[in-house]
Chains A and B, each alone.
Chain A
Amino acid sequence: MSVELVLHYLVSPSFFRGAGMTLLLTVTSLFFGVVIGLALALIQESRTRAGQIVTLAYLWLFRGTPVLFQVIFIYNVLPSFGIKLSAFVCAVLALSLNEGAYMAEILRSGLQAVKKGQRTAGLALGMTGGQMMRHVVIPQAARIVLPPIGNQMIGMLKLSALVSVIAVEELLLVANQTASADFRYFEALTAAGIYYLAMTTAFMGVQVLIETVFDPKKRQRMRRMTLTERMLGTSQSFAVR
């Protein structure tokens, strides 16, 4: 293996752009995934019959088929209905729709974890329903959902590699193309792996930071802990995929 070549790939514009595309895909899809998930969770909370059916059908559809299938389906089938979207938009659409299904479950469990008595206490103080959600329920639910959402962030980063099949120029596709052009698979894939690890590490750091903001007690103790301890301290989250 040539270390120099790995370094060369790492600083090359094509790898850098690939990593940028991966990051962009991840962040946009996560954003829309959270929006869709929140909408679904609130519809489910409202407990109307039609709402239950809609969310159940959504979850059934998007959790029940492979993401890769959804990506290929959206990219290849929508045009036959006259809907022409760029590969990037198709990728974000597929990843967000899929992510929304998982986010809905995470957000719903967070909202439900805040007991009814807490809501009653907020109302009894004279809050409107909206104030109660904002000042009582959501701050407490946020602390519960942050670890699994952190998991989803990292999961999404890796999932974004799938959209290489519809020729979105993201990190893995760039690495693979470079490798087959130069016949240097080891070096090209090592460079891509380093980029992935760097990004997931950064995500873990962001997760710790956000969790600290939402946990006043953790904020107090923060000063005494090293970064590694803080990162290890978040391992109570569970894998979804």
Chain B
Amino acid sequence: MRCKEVRQQLGAYDYSTYDAEALPQALREHLAGCASCRRWVSRTRRVSEMLRSLPTDEVPQYFTAGVMARLGQAPGSVGERWLDWLIGPLRAPAPRVPAYQLVAAGCLLLALVVGGALYSSYSHPGDAQHGIGVVIADGGGSGLAGTPVSVGGGGPRLRRINGEGDRLKINDLILRHQNYELGKPLGPDPAVRLSETSY
């Protein structure tokens, strides 16, 4: 079998229950001898896994009614279809969304926009320039002592470091991460890491 045919067939598989042993013999034989296709399968499975880990959106309560209401409607002109898309929920005989809910949502949105604008206008002048603040801490004896560092061109800047308490709390997270990494194989063991950090 050619790689193209193999990948066409494998593209239709449900990778949540993928079992290499259950594949047809022709596919198994091809994969056994083709590292490129094996790599392709590996990447596809990874993408599938990542997609499955994404949160799913909830379907709105009016969704079914809206879909059923649209069935059987003859498509109108381009202008009608555009208008329908723009204000369809309010034009329908049985509105897809109750009007009071729409008004409430609109008020909330307006309040958030206005409130956010007011809040950001009261922020520290330095903050106004940057959407996010970044602190980068690296190993070393004397620490960063206020040295500004940019991440990416024109990106956020470091702040002066203050507070022994916050340093210790970040240390706590680092220790947790190191603990977790203790079990990783074929990597620097604790004796190597101790030597690395003592320099």
A, B bound: no
| Residues of B near any A CB (own CB < 8 A) | none
